[in-house]
Structure 1
Amino acid sequence: MKKLSIFFIALFLVPTLFLTSCDKGDDTLIDATPSFTLMKDYVINNNLDINKIITNADGEKFVAGPPATAADVPAYIAKYTILDIRSSDAFKAGHIEGAKNITFANILTEAAAASKPILMVCYTGQTACYATALMRMYGYSHTQALKWGMSGWNATTAGPWNGKIGANEADGHANWTYGGAPTNNVFTDPVISTLSTDGSIIFKSRVEAAVAAGFKTATGTDVLSNPTNYFINNYFSEADYSAFGHINGANRILPLTLADNSYKGIDPNAKVVTYCYTGQTSAIVTACLNVLGYDAYSLTFGMNGMFNTNTAWASNQWGADSKPKDLPLISDN
């Protein structure tokens, strides 16, 4: 009888020990460093934070203005491998001498073959800036985008900007305000799904996925009409936030970096739209946020597309600061 009691006790202890062992395994998984944290640490330690993508470790901004005169063009184009991501028809109609027409999906492949710093070219500078950010994050830190795109190179290729500016729909709009910015909240980190425990591998795979997904944008019309559908971040200085006015409810998270945790002001569960003056800086920020795990969009044409005639302009105004030039074009037609 005594032996039978011992047997039953042992029978109950075995599953208890098994469950204890399983609990320990679960704790190990729970205590594992989140994938986002692994990626964040890699980004900070390798000069790949958002501010380092905007201006690299050598002090080069993400945009390069066009040359001042036609006489400066040969020296200008000699510095770069020029990659033009416009349509083949637009490229054939007029492009920079020496430029290569490629698709957005192939930017990382083309970057690997480049022997000089890369100049990305598009219609307005916005998609090229998005590409530039992804290429800088992937290790091609000397990549730059042609500021204003081909719209700023020659008046005959300025159609995309000229066709989008002038509506001034924010002027007098019910969702345009001049009030102060809301208090920034503190959100949790995005959740990154991956089996890798290497921050470098996680980060590069996220860049590759962003390239495959393409440029994610939102229009001023939609965001103005439906601001509550988005988490809006106005990437203006504090003075300009008030002077220009802004979309109702727009946050102002600037600086926006991983190192100081200011990125925690962005809601990881919302559609995040960033806007700036031209759509070019917001394209850089949006690329970074998408790689970091946010559902991020850049507001096309920025402030210019919503309220180009705003009297607060000091720079980056299309038609003034842009000054489309008559620089030479090569035609393949």
Structure 2
Amino acid sequence: MNNSKYIIIIALLLSLGLSSCQQKYEPGHGLKEVPEGRIDIPEIEALLTFMGNSGDYINSPTFPSLINAEDVFENLNSYFIIDIRNNEDYRGGHINGAVNIDIPNLMDYLTKTVAASAYDRLVIVCKNGQTSAYVTGVLRLLGYSNAYSMSYGMSSWNPSIDYWSDRVSNKYANKLEIKENALSRTYPFPQIKTGQSCGAEILNARGITLFNTPTNRLMIKADRVFKELDEFHIIAYMPKEIYDQGHIPGAFHYEPKQSLNKEDLLNTLPSNNKKILVYDYTGQTASFVMAYLRLLGYNAFTMPMGANSFMYHILEANGKPVFEKSKKVSDFPLIKGNTPTDKEFEKQINSSTPAPKKEKKIIKRKKKEVEGGCS
């Protein structure tokens, strides 16, 4: 009798797949039914299993979820835009219809105020695309499968808002390293303690924690990185051929969309609170990665503007994403003040007759950024 009981218990555990409790998990609308029962395993194991069973976003074709300004402008009637800049910047000029929400209030807003799933896309906007990518990464992991970050932020919307041009440089292009650094050590996964016992609840608790952590503490500039190289475990999140042409000294290569899961190289990341610095071409994809790592409990950071901030010409010469104002910046209208919508502008957008041409020419992009691309 006892043997039969143990067999039943083991079968139940296997059927649960080390997952979590029965519930229809939302805030996001992208996560589905969760198996019944609770299992007494480390929270990080339950979280990793749940996230893997929910689409493994970090390694999925839709990663990273970026959208360009032109696409947003052409779909103002069907996209819901959340501007996470400070209120002063928002009042100075925002996208028509965009609401201004502080990051710590975002979860409450999306679960209690607006039906996010009713919109084709939920577009998160910041000043330069770094913070919005991080926030969008958290939302995607929480199940908001229609969440997107606007590439290059408001800097790509109107030339009067430019947080990019004076932040790109070649300052450390002559300090790069060519040799490959071998990953020779493994670590246990971080021990997270939310007090929850199923993957869905742990995920939600971690998301709330991330949204309550000031984002200005998560960006470390190139000057500090090159000065304090030994303080970081550095992830060069880019294809091997670019890594081989020159990377931050001591940086390790991690292949995008395949290396950061528990079956591959996730256990090569230090879980002893050592700073993990993720960089890529523009800092935007790296911000998505940072969201994933911080949600798992790693002490992860990114570099503003990524490699654009210290090896711009090398990227440009290799045809990799760089910020060029003439190509990346449109000339779309700005709405002033605290009111999300300008009625006259909205009438023009909704009108069936063509809008009159503006004096300033809208600059069209030569290449359209797409979801799942590298940036």
TM > 0.5 fold call = yes
Contact 2:194 2:206 in 1 (8 A): no
Summarize the alignment of residues 30-109 of structure 1 with structure 2, pairs less than 5 Å apart: 32-52=40-60, 55=62, 61-67=64-70, 73=73, 75-109=74-108
Q: Which residue of 2 aligns with 1:323?
A: 328
- The answer for the alignment partner of 2:233 in structure 1 is 231
**How far, CA to CA, are the matches of 2:196 and 2:93 in structure 1?**
45
Shift in alpha-carbon separation, 1:321–1:303, aligned structure 2, 3 A: farther
Change (3 A) 1:177 1:296: same
Q: Distance in 2 between matches of 1:151 and 1:320?
A: 9
The one-letter amino acid paired with 1:240 is I
CA contact (8 A) 2:254 2:260 kept: no
Q: 1:322 to 1:39 in 2, by over 3 A?
A: farther
More off after superposition, 318-327 vs 183-192: 318-327
TM-score after normalising by structure 1: 0.81
Deviations along 1:271-303, whole A, 9 cap, x unmatched? 111001111001000011001010110111100
Q: Secondary structure at the match of 2:252?
A: coil
2:288 to 279, 284, 288: 284
Q: Provide TM-score, normalisation by structure 2.
A: 0.72
- Distance in 1 (CA, whole Å) between partners of 2:179 and 2:317 is 15
CA contact (8 A) 2:165 2:325 kept: no
Go from structure 1 to structure 2 and tell me whether the alpha carbon gap of 1:186 and 1:320 turns closer, same or farther (over 3 Å shift). Answer: farther
2-structure distance, mates of 1:236, 1:83: 29
In 1, the alpha carbon distance for the partners of 2:259 and 2:204 equals 21
Instruction: Point out the more displaced range, 189-198 or 220-229.
Output: 189-198
SS at 2:82's partner residue?
A: strand
Deviation at 1:257, TM superposition (A): 3.1
Structure showing the higher helix proportion among its residues: 1
The structural deviation recorded for 1:313 is 3.5
The answer to whether the 8 Å contact 2:183/2:268 transfers is: no
The structure with the largest alpha-carbon Rg is 1
1:141 to 125, 142, 145: 145
Give the stretch that moved more between structures: 92-101 or 41-50: 41-50
- How many residue pairs match? The answer is 289
**How far apart are the structure 2 equivalents of 1:312 and 1:36?**
42
Q: Structure 2: 5+ residue runs without aligned partners?
A: 1-38, 339-375
The sequence identity of aligned pairs, in percent, is 26
Structure-2 change in CA distance of 1:194 and 1:326 (3 Å): closer
Matched position secondary structure for 2:183: coil
Q: Residues 322 and 120 from structure 1, CA distance in 2 versus in 1: closer, same or farther, beyond 3 angstroms?
A: farther
- RMSD of the TM alignment (CA)? 2.1
What's the counterpart of residue 190 of structure 2?
Answer: 190
Q: Is the 8 A contact 1:256 1:262 kept in 2?
A: yes
The 1-side partners of 2:318 and 2:106 are apart by 34
**Which segment drifts farther, 85-94 or 176-185?**
176-185
Per-residue CA deviations over 1:50-107 (Å, capped at 9, x if unaligned) read 224x726xxxx41101217xxx83x421221100011212112211111111111122
